[in-house]
Amino acid sequence: MVGPTASDAPPTLAVKIFSAGAAACVADVITFPLDTAKVRLQIQGECQASTAVRYKGVLGTITTLAKTEGPMKLYSGLPAGLQRQISFASLRIGLYDTVQEFFTTGKETTASLGSKISAGLTTGGVAVFIGQPTEVVKVRLQAQSHLHGPKPRYTGTYNAYRIIATTEGLMGLWKGTTPNLTRNVIINCTELVTYDLMKEALVKNKLLADDVPCHFVSALIAGFCTTVLSSPVDVVKTRFVNSPPGQYASVPNCAMTMLTKEGPSAFFKGFVPSFLRLGSWNVIMFLCFEQLKRELMKSRQTMDCAT
């Protein structure tokens, strides 16, 4: 019997985890300015000072940030962002297939929708508890501005970790775990399950081959669906994580304050940059992830043949 080709050989768990982490880091570096713009638009409305800089739209926010605070401000918090992706993406994406297989019963020839959702819930939840400190630091650094008011709270990534831990306690690094857990579970389930289902449907119906165009379309649709469902939770999470101690009594209090002061539209602040960021991030990440898996398995099979 002829053995499976490199493209047919299933990737190992180590290959999946490494590919997911590396692909997510590449996607983060490319799309980080959009993420910073999203955070600034989401927190707009907290500060009512007349001297506060006002941001309008995605390009307007990016342009204003670059002009008033310098181009490098668009990448403020990138080290924490990359740390976040290494922990988040490696776990939630790299382990997704393995956990999905665990939830698949022996009678099922392919994973059911329930198995896919269960896998998304599990890997998304685990990733949040491990990587939450990186999320807190990333958001704080992206949100702070040296314009108007007091000087910035943090001078860098590791300074932020230290100050948060010493002034707010170790649990301060896990601030906002509840909304971030909700957000990440929604994102993980929607993103991975939608991508999985779309790719399966396109290949099964012979609309597209399991290659770059198929991965591109599936990732873009998954990004849009994820943004629509996760936006309200994402805004609340950003506001709560960025708030100084005592501003909000709890996550529900933060949500109610936003609703009463700014109206329902506040929950969709930064929607366009969120979609541009998540859509482009999904496309770059999944394209890199799929290609990395294939190339690593080809390299591994070539080394096995050589030995």
Is-contact 55 66, C-beta < 8 A? Answer: no
- CB 43 within 8 Å of CB 254: no
Enumerate residues 6+ apart whose C-beta is below 8 A from 201: 207
For the stretch 118-129, what's the b/e string if a residue is b when 16 or more beta carbons lie within 10 angstroms of its beta carbon?
Answer: bbbbbbbbbbbe
CB 146 within 8 A of CB 152: yes
pLDDT tens for 199-214 read 999 999 999 999 999 9
- Give tens-digit pLDDT for 212-265: 999 999 999 999 999 888 888 888 888 888 788 888 888 889 999 999 988 988
Residues near 180 by beta carbon (within 8 Å), at least 6 away in sequence = 128, 132, 135, 237, 241
Q: Over pLDDT 90: what percentage of the chain?
A: 26
**Residues sharing a CB contact under 8 Å with residue 255, sequence separation 6 or more, in sequence order:** 236, 267
The model carries a pTM of 0.78
Look at the alpha carbons of 9, 15, 16, 21 in this order and tell me if their dihedral is positive or negative. negative
